[in-house]
Amino acid sequence: MALPKRIIKETERLVTDPVSGIIATPHEENLRYFDVSLEGPPGTPYEGGVFKLELFLPEDYPMTAPRLRFLTRIYHPNIDRLGRICLDVLKDHWSPAMQIRTILLSVQALLSSPNPDDPLANDVAAIWKENEPLAVQTAKEWTEKYAM
């Protein structure tokens, strides 16, 4: 199966000119499958943590969005316990003009601004709304426990 030029270019650029705080490395046996590590943004409860994600480019990428999932446990209202991410640009707001790097930046931005009003992890979102300091504290603890 031929790998589209665009994927090769994107991969080259990810490796030679990485986005700060994000490392994405393709698997040698499957160049559509990437291991991603993402640093928790400073000033958030995820600061200091390094989160592992998996990323897969489907056959019709870039016409459809990459598939992306957290492998490291994270306490966040829009990320559930299986690591699935509730993010518009991964679903109906995907556009073929976006790239792997822009999607990963969006995920980083999601960590900076959790949105408990559109939750995926209902229990986390409920606590986030009722008692935000407690939620932030738990997120910090989880970061220390799972991501450091």
Partner 1 sequence: MEDSTDFLATKIPSLEKFEDNLRCPICRELLLRAPKITECGHTFCGECIDRHLNNETRCPLCRLEVQRAQLRANKSLESAVEEWKLNRDKLLHQLTLEQNSNTREHKDDNEKHEHTGVLNNVEIQHNPNVKTMSVCPICSKTLPISEIQGSHIDTCLQTNSSRSKRKRPFFEPIPTKKLSLPFFATLSDAKIRILLAENGLISKGSRAKLIQRFQEYFTLYNNNLDLKTPEPVSNLRKKMSLWEKTQNNNTNDLKELDAKEWTSQHQTQFDELITSAKKTAEKKNTPEKNSENVINLTQTEPQTKLKNGEVSESDNESEI
Binding site for partner 1 (CB under 8 A): 1-2, 4-6, 8-10, 12-13, 16-17, 30, 32-33, 54, 56, 58-59, 62-64, 67, 69, 71, 73, 80-84, 93, 95-97, 120-123
126 CB-near residues (< 8 Å, 6+ apart):
116, 119
What's the min distance (Å) between Cβ of 69 and partner 1? 5
What's the min distance (Å) between Cβ of 67 and partner 1? 5
Task: Pick the closer one to partner 1 by CB: 112 or 131.
Answer: 131
Task: Pick the closer one to partner 1 by CB: 9 or 112.
Answer: 9
Torsion of CA 47, 52, 58, 64, to 10 degrees: -10
Nearest CA to 106 out of 78, 75, 80 is that of: 78
Pairwise CA distance, residues 97 & 148, whole Å: 34
Backbone torsion region of residue 117, taken as left when φ is above 0, otherwise alpha when ψ lies between -120 and 50, otherwise beta = alpha
Structure tokens of 8?
Answer: 């090769």
Question: Catalytic residues, which ones?
Answer: 86
Task: Pick the closer one to partner 1 by CB: 23 or 69.
Answer: 69
Q: How far is CA 97 from the centre of its chain?
A: 18
Task: Pick the closer one to partner 1 by CB: 88 or 112.
Answer: 88
